[in-house]
Amino acid sequence: MNKKILYKWSTLTFLLLFVTMIVRAQDSLSLTINANNPVPTFKQKVNKKRLRNVILTESAIYAAELVFLQFIWYKNHKTTPFHFYDDNDGWLQIDKYGHAFGAYQETAKSYEALRWAGVSNAKAAWYGGLAGFMLQSQLEIYDAFYEGYGFSVGDVVANGLGSLLFVAQQITLQDQPIKMKFSYSPSGYPRYNPFYLGENQLQSFFMDYNAHTYWLSFNVPGSNGEKSWWPAWLNIAVGYSANGMLDEFKNPAFLRGQAVPDLPRYRQYLLSLDIDFSKIKTRSRFLRRVFNFINFLKVPAPTLEWNRVQGTKFHLAYF
C-alpha cells in the first residue's frame, strides 16, 4: 500500500515548482520591501488575471492526477464496489504522518499562490486548505473502487488534520509558528523487501517509511522581539519516526525464499533544533526563492531520541 506515496510526493513536487515560479514573479511584480521590514508583503487587491492563472494551474494539476489515476495507476487493477481498508495499524502510523505532512505543505503552497493573486489572508487560508485536502484525498476515492486497495478513513482524517493545522494558525495568527517538516536518512532495510521499500535509492526515498521522520517545528515564543536573546529563526522541533518495518503490519519470516532477521518494530520520539528559513531576513531575491523552497525540510541538528528498544540516545546530527 505504501507505493501510493510516490503519487502523493509527485503532487507536492508539482506544487513546489509552481510556487517557485510564483516567488520569482513576486520578486519582480508584486512585492513591496522597505528598509525596516525586508520581509516581502503581499498587495491586498485581487489581481483577476493572476487568480485565473492560479485556478487554472491547480485545476490542471488536479485533472492531470485524475487522468493519471484512471488510465495509468489503476490500469491493470480490477474494479470492485466501494469498500474500506483499515490500515490504521500499518507502518506504525508513519504513513498517517506522511498524509498530514503532504496536506499541510499542499495547503501552504496553495495559500501562497492565492496570496500572490491578492486574495485576503482568511480566504486564501480556507481555499488553500480545501485545495490541499482535495489534492491529498482524491486517491482515497479511487482506492475505494479497486481490488487490493480501499478507502482509508485514517488517511482522510490525517489529510484533514494536516490542512487544518495550517488553516487554523493562518486565520488566528496570520503566521505559522508551528510548521510540519520532513527529514530522510537511508535505513538499509530495502535490501530485505525491495517490493515494499524500493528497488533502488530513488524508490527507497519515497517508499521506505523506516527512513522518514516527520517533525513539528516550533518558533520559540518571544524570539521575534528586538531584545530577545533567542534567534527568531532557531526553532525547537519534536519528531516522530519508526524502525524495523519490512511490511505493512507484521514482518515476515521469509522473503523471496530467504530467511530475514527478526527485527523489532519500534517507534522513535525525537527532540531537536531546527531552522525556520522564513524568519531569516534577506534582501536577496535568490535567497528568498531558495528559503521558500527548502523550508519544508528539517535541517540536521543535535537531537535527543527515545525508543523502547535502545532507550535514550543522543545524535550529534540527526538526519
**pLDDT (tens digit, 9 = 90+) per residue, 126-169?**
999 999 998 888 888 888 888 888 999 999 999 999 999 999 99
Say if residue 13's pLDDT is above 80.
no
CA distance 192 to 109: 36
**pTM, to two decimals:** 0.87
Q: What's the CA gap between 276 and 172, in Å, rounded? A: 20
Closest of 131, 130, 100, 127 to residue 115, by C-alpha:
127
Please state the rounded mean pLDDT for residues 86-100.
Answer: 95
CA torsion through residues 47, 53, 54, 59, sign: positive
DSSP label at 61? H
pLDDT, position 206: 87
| Separation between Cα atoms, residue 213 and residue 181, nearest integer Å | 8
105/25: higher pLDDT: 105
235 φ, ψ to 5°?
A: -105, 160
According to DSSP, the residues that pair with 272 across neighbouring strands are 237, 303
Mean pLDDT on 279-284: 92
Q: Provide the residue type at 41 as one letter.
A: T
Q: Is the dihedral of CA 272, 275, 279, 280 positive or negative?
A: positive
What pLDDT shows up at residue 5?
58
Least confident of 142-151, 269-278, 307-316: 142-151
Burial (CB < 10 A; 0-12, 13-18, 19+), residue 76, is: exposed
Q: Which helix (H) or strand (E) holds 271?
A: strand 266-275
pLDDT confidence tier of residue 39, bands split at 50, 70 and 90: very low
More confident residue, 228 or 170: 170
3, pLDDT greater than 60: no
